[in-house]
Homo-oligomer: A and B are copies of this chain.
Amino acid sequence: MNKARLEAFSDGVIAILITIMVLDLRSPPSADLSALGSVLPDLATYLLSFVFLGIYWNNHHHVLHATSRINGAVLWANLHLLFWLSLVPFATRWMSQTELGSVPTALYGCVLLLSAVAFAILVRTIVAAEAPESLLATAIGRDTKGKLSLVIYAVAIPLTFLNRWLAVALFALVSLIWLVPDRRIERLTTPGARS
């Protein structure tokens, strides 16, 4: 079974998700600067979700790059991840329209958390399909970043009912952690790469 179509299909779905969110960006109600100001929160939320999906594409790229073979279980683990990611535009729109209401923000956090869980399941399914001493297993190692993300999301979700701004800040923090690309895999798969 070849991984090329799995990559192509995932690229397609993530590319669509990351772009259809602009269809949900409402035009400012009039043509002046204050009207633009009124949609700035929407733009900020869009940026947050854009970066989140961009990180998933990036990590998906890294993990699949280090993968040598896949099986049927990997296909389903991948579809499972895509399902949770596909709810990001829905959760973003609701959170945006209610101006960071507590329940919508908590739902947004749940979608982020479940996406992270689905990604962890995907990685473990791939590692199980590979040989035990595989490149990917070595590269992932103890997966500190992945576990830390799960903890921060799990903390942020109940926080939405106390202080929603703090919760959103934690969501953004996880993104910042991941904006540093996964050097572990890059180092192992690019022998002799500069910096």
Give chain A's interface residue range (CB within 8 Å of chain B). 35 or more
Is A15 a contact of B9 with CB atoms below 8 Å?
A: yes
Q: Which residues of B contact A27 (CB under 8 A)?
A: 90, 93-94, 97
A1→B66 CA distance, assembly (Å): 9
Which of B20, B58, B72 contacts A22, CB < 8 Å?
B20
Write out, one digit per residue, whether chain A residues 26-51 have a CB within 8 A of any chain B CB (1) or not (0): 01101111011000000000010010
B residues within 8 A CB of A22? 17, 20, 86-87, 89-90
Please state if B11 and A9 are interface contacts (CB–CB under 8 Å).
Answer: yes
Q: Are B16 and A76 in contact (CB under 8 A)?
A: no
Q: Which residues of A contact B (CB under 8 A)?
A: 1-2, 5-9, 11-20, 22-25, 27-28, 30-33, 35-36, 47, 50, 54, 57-58, 61, 65, 69, 71-73, 75-76, 79, 82-83, 86-87, 89-90, 93-94, 97-98, 101-104, 107, 129, 179, 181-183, 186, 189-190, 193-195
